[in-house]
Structure 1
Amino acid sequence: MNGVIVVTGGAGFIGSNFVREWFAHVPDARVVVLDALTYAGHLESLEAVKNEPGFVFVQGDIADSACVNALIAQYQPVAIVNFAAESHVDRSIHGPGDFIRTNVNGTFTLLEAARAHWSALQGEARDNFRFLHVSTDEVYGSLEPGDAPFTETHPFQPNSPYSASKAASDHLVRAWFHTYGLPVLTTNCSNNYGPFHYPEKLIPLVILNALAGKPLPIYGDGSNIRDWLFVTDHCAAIRRVLAAGQLGETYNVGGWNEKTNLEVVRTICAQLDALHPREDGRAYAEQITFVTDRPGHDRRYAIDASKLHRELGWKPAETFETGVAKTVRWYLDNQDWVRAVTGGAFDAWLKNHYK
């Protein structure tokens, strides 16, 4: 794809990985990152591309229409890729208002700005413009152990303020396609993991707590099941959908790796035992601690990504075992990044949440 792309939320976990991958795979790449730099967005995650001649960073909020419209008018993008979102279920339980503002109102603001921009384009530029909305499998609700994985036609049944806000944003994107013809694409992904993951989520939190000798908190009995997707596999899927996806369509992106939370934590502990043994020679698994389950905790997510494979030829390159090994090694080798993004308010939030 030639021309400027705008990546919202590009200083966050998946967004920053996507930006780095875009520069690695697209000749003469030009990327404008729009990010509000809230607690989960960090310029340190974009250090590798900050000196690229085609890179621009703009600090701003996707719900700020003046900011969004000015940015689009200045850079005239050929595509907008929307990663910007409040995304932590636990935080949505404590403060749902932020999730409605960013995920619903922010998506609306982006869609309207994109529609105004696209409507003014002519010819090939108008035909080639794309708005890609990155969403989650959590909009589909929860599965029982024997249920078939989520397909793109599964009904939306969100159970948390986070998933409800993302479901609302997905509906807005669909409506802007059917009502206005805006050339949109939507991806619904399973749980991502990998480098630069903000350590409020399970995998990075377990790695860092293990290294610090702290308890490894697991909700309930640890039997909740998630499908795990290595972040660079997700980035490859988005590039493929952006290049060849059918307008107005949704594509599920999954890793074909269903694991219980307890399995995930034990796998991480085994990796750390091998790569960074405890000084006392004991197993990291001894630090596992079960904590009170969170309200409305979905039991199982599972993604059927066969449509993406069948129609666009994508499949994940990483198994869960290879992806976790790369992730653990990255955190061991990048403690400076960890120190830059944690401490202070982050430590206080963890202490209060898991008390």
Structure 2
Amino acid sequence: MILVTGGAGFIGGNFVLDWIAETGEPVVNLDKLTYAGNLETLKSLDSDTRHVFVQGDICDRELVDRLLAEHRPRAIVHFAAESHVDRSIHGPGEFMRTNVEGTFTLLEAARAYWGALEGEAKAAFRFHHVSTDEVYGSLAAHEAPFAETHAYEPNSPYSASKAASDHLVRAWFHTYGLPVVTTNCSNNYGPYHFPEKLIPLMIVNALAGKPLPIYGDGQNVRDWLYVKDHCSAIRAVLQNGRLGETYNIGGWNEKPNLDIVHTVCALLDELKPDAAGSYSRLITYVTDRPGHDRRYAIDARKVERELGWRPAETFETGIRKTVEWYLANPEWVANVQSGAYREWVSANYAGRDAKDSHA
């Protein structure tokens, strides 16, 4: 049995589905079900006794203690986080509470639980903290990708809150000996991705004939990681990662945002042609967000060298699977596009002057 936090979110939900399919080991899934948590993602597990869902807050120490005492997990895999940069700019308080206070609460609960274990159970226990490459800041075009030793230079309230949580995890290992591992991943994409992030937003807007908003000049570069590859990397680190170590998980796929959008448009042109013409006609440049990091890139050689992990998908294979999934699952998309989601999109892009839309 393992305990997963945030297992109804995008990466967490994919991980729960993947974990049960690949290992068959039961999961206790603790998720608050905020706007980004979606039980529709886990619908295939409705009658599966290996999945125990608990709606709750990771900041609720009494609840976390009870779940640990009742289910006796051999590991905690901690995904739960506020993760959208734009939302962190509009309202940083929730990011501090969930990402910092929530991680602290989990660490303290895990420390008490682990401290009472004995023998093999104590030796086998792991706390796996899932983090982001955004803690490292921004790279210039000529700079080498982020290695695990890169200095932390977070530039947004979101990345600052995740950096703080990383430091807490490190401190609980060095001070208390809590058996932790940390992974810092690059931008994930794939099925069940909430449509506020770039790739699903472009797919959903294109199919609806709405503008495809591109921040600034569209040349911000990210490394893209197919979510199922991320899941396999977490399994590898949880099983064989060295205690106290950090592993960067990347897809070896650096792409400018504008290239990503053109790729999505080309796939939609192929798979679901629009009589009005190419979906690329909808590309619209909008005012950049404050403090927008120019480039992220992950050096994932450590996890390959130590654990033999490499991504199975190229960007070309992964993005095709992603677009095909969204075309095949319109009900899921419609269900997550609630009133709250529409209000958020309206608020975030309101007042951003649209510039020349020719891409």
| 4+ aligned runs moved over 3 Å, structure 1 | none
Cross-structure match for 1:26: 23
1:46 & 1:11 partners in 2: Cα distance? 7
Task: Decide which of 52, 55, 70 is 1:74's aligned counterpart.
Answer: 70
Correspondence for 1:7 among 4, 7, 15: 4
2:322 is matched with which residue? Answer: 327
SS of the equivalent of 2:29 reads strand
* C-alpha displacement of 1:203: 0.2
Structure 2: unaligned runs, 5 residues or longer: 351-359
The residue number in structure 2 matching 1:177 is 173
Alignment of 1:158-197 (within 5 A): 158-197=154-193
Percent identity, aligned pairs only? 69
CA displacement at 1:50 relative to structure 2: 2.4
Gaps of 5+ in 1: none
1:230 counterpart residue number: 226
Report the AA paired with residue 24 of structure 1.
A
Amino acid at match of 1:348: E
TM-score, normalised to structure 2, is: 0.97
Deviates more, 1:40-49 or 1:300-309: 40-49
Q: Paired residue for 1:95?
A: 91
CA distance in 1, matches of 2:47, 2:78: 23
User: For 1:305, which of 280, 297, 300 is the aligned residue?
Assistant: 300
Aligned counterpart for 1:287 among listed residues 257, 282, 286: 282
1:343 offset after TM fit, Å?
2.6
Offset of residue 79 of structure 1: 0.2
Code of the residue aligned with 1:176 in structure 2: it is W
Work out which of the residue numbers 39, 42, 58 in structure 1 matches 2:54: 58
Cα shift at 1:160: 0.1
Q: Secondary structure of the residue that 1:316 maps to in structure 2?
A: coil
Which of 151, 169, 192 lines up with 1:155 in the alignment? 151
Amino acid at match of 1:68: V
Deviation at 1:345, TM superposition (A): 1.3
CA distance in 2 between partners of 1:343 and 1:72 (Å) = 33
Partner of 1:346: 341
Give the Cα separation in 2 of the matches to 1:176 and 1:353.
37
Structure 1 residue aligned with 2:14 = 17
What letter is aligned with 2:14?
N
Q: CA RMSD in A?
A: 0.6
Amino acid at match of 2:102: G
Question: Taking structure 1 as the reference length, what is the TM-score of the superposition?
Answer: 0.98
In the alignment, what sits opposite 1:317? Answer: 312
Q: CA deviation at 1:348?
A: 1.4
**1: distance between equivalents of 2:284 and 2:241?**
43
**1:241-256 alignment runs, 5 A limit:** 241-256=237-252
Q: Which amino acid aligns with 1:293?
A: D
Post-superposition offset of 1:277: 0.4
> For each residue in 1:56-78, what CA deviation from the matched residue of structure 2 results, as whole angstroms up to 9, or x when unmatched?
00000001111111111111110
Provide the secondary structure at the position in 2 that maps to 1:70: helix
Distance 2:347 2:18 in 1: 36
Distance in 1, Cα, partners of 2:242 & 2:183: 12
Supply the AA of the counterpart residue of 2:2: I
Distance in 2 of aligned mates of 1:307 and 1:345? 41
Distance, in Å, in 1 between the alignment partners of 2:343 and 2:88 is 17
The one-letter amino acid paired with 2:139 is L
Residue 268 (structure 1) aligned with residue 264 (structure 2): yes
SS state at 1:353 partner: helix
Q: How many Å apart are 1:353 and its aligned residue?
A: 1.1
Secondary structure of 2:28's match? strand
Q: Partners in 2 of 1:199 and 1:348 — Cα distance? A: 13
DSSP-derived class of the 2:248 partner:
strand
